[in-house]
Amino acid sequence: MTGTPPSFAGTPDAQEAKLDVLAEMLRTVRLNGSVFLNACFSAPFGIVSPRQYDARAPMAHLRHISIFHLIAAGSCTVELATGERRGVSAGDVLLIPFADAHRFWRGEVESMTQAEDVIRPGPVRGMWTVNHGGGGEETRMVCGFLESAEVLSTPVFRSLPPLLVHRTDDGGVSALLTSTVRNILVLADTAAPGTEFTLGRLMELLFLEVLRHHAAGLPPGARGWFAALNDPILSRALQLVHAEPARRWTVDDLARLAGASRTVLAERFNAVLGQAPIEYVTGWRMQIAADLLRAGKQGMAEVAAEVGYESEAAFNRAFKRVTGVTPGRWRDGEAPAPSDPNVVRVGTG
């Protein structure tokens, strides 16, 4: 049996299932959003945004961040450290998944200004302001971040391109994304006390919508976790694994329930995600375990059982193999750096 169950592929239920998988993945990385900057630049201007702000800036303490730039008015050019360059204008939403160094400018600029040199405290705690430039045509943007407390093997971030740009006036963009951006811009300008929480939730919603739109627009033959959501067989398999992570999954069981042969399932996982099905299962279990351990509400044996391990010893071995540290060290906050060579990178797509 290699076909896709007719009740799943291409139906509203399939779209809802994909969103469920995405939402569950984001929940386990403890996503937190906020708006941190309301900026007005006047041409000519040139700003350098480093990979990480120094201690004076609002994001220095974050372990992992993705950056949003919402262009409210005007236009400018954005360039990543890789040399990728894009012209952006009012209505564009930019997502830089790993907050890599980048710069943006408009007009002839003699030298670039470091972002931390021009930011100033704003009227609301945690939101900064900028008013900088040569006095010409204005470019206004609101910037936000998404913090992830855990970056383990989660493929959501690692399978994204360095820069995503979406236009809110594009007919293919959802009304929800457009209205979310509009609400963020209005609240950022209002800057009334108590808006911080609402802005944070809106940033999280914006992130989900941008990711959903990105996944829907991927071309046939794309690779990575988001491409897997568009593959009928893989999407079904991911839904099953995420719904029952502690189940004693075998490739045969997963293939049967996903509506494919063992060979086809293994081939699809390897071609799109770059790993075997059981590797993905293990990576997802360890992501859940990392979240549970850091929460500190359950004992080690309980966490092990919840992610499908009958003994603490087996769980400890699996967790260290995937993360590079023991569960106890992870719980105590001693997670390895993303570049740690001891970490087995699973689920990266």
Model confidence over 291-325: pLDDT tens digits? 898 888 899 999 999 999 999 999 999 999 988 88
Identify the pLDDT of residue 63.
55
Mean pLDDT across 17-33: 73
Identify the pLDDT of residue 287.
86
Same-domain pairing of 197 and 253: no
pLDDT at 342 over 80: no
149 vs 176, higher pLDDT: 176
Say if 337 falls within a structural domain. no
pLDDT at 340 over 70: no
Distance between alpha carbon 215 and the CA centroid of its chain, in Å? Answer: 12
Same-domain pairing of 182 and 278: no
Same-domain pairing of 95 and 212: yes
The range of the structural domain enclosing residue 231 comes to 223-331
Mean pLDDT across 128-133: 94
Q: Return the percentage of the chain with pLDDT > 70, whole number.
A: 83
With cut-offs at 50, 70 and 90, classify the pLDDT of residue 6.
very low
Say if 8 falls within a structural domain. no
Query: Cα angle vertex 288, ends 284, 293, to 5°?
Result: 145
* 106 and 121 Cβ atoms separated by less than 8 Å: no
Identify the pLDDT of residue 150.
53
149 vs 234, higher pLDDT: 234
pLDDT at 52 over 80: no
With cut-offs at 50, 70 and 90, classify the pLDDT of residue 153.
low
Among residues 182, 161, 162, 160, the alpha carbon closest in space to that of 70 is found at 182
- Cα 184 from Cα 182, distance rounded (Å): 5
Identify the pLDDT of residue 296.
82
Lowest mean per-residue pLDDT among 78-92, 161-175, 262-276, 335-349: 335-349
Same-domain pairing of 55 and 186: yes
Q: What is the pTM of this model?
A: 0.79
What is the number of domains present in the chain? 2
Same-domain pairing of 35 and 87: yes
Mind listing the pLDDT tens digit for each residue in 237-268?
A: 999 999 999 999 999 999 999 999 999 999 99
Same-domain pairing of 63 and 190: yes
- Cα 246 from Cα 310, distance rounded (Å): 10
Cα dist from 253 to 7, 45, 307, whole Å: 19, 59, 18
Same-domain pairing of 107 and 200: yes
* 260 Cβ neighbours under 8 A, 6+ residues apart: 1, 2, 4, 233, 268
pLDDT at 128 over 80: yes
Identify the pLDDT of residue 48.
95
Identify the pLDDT of residue 220.
86
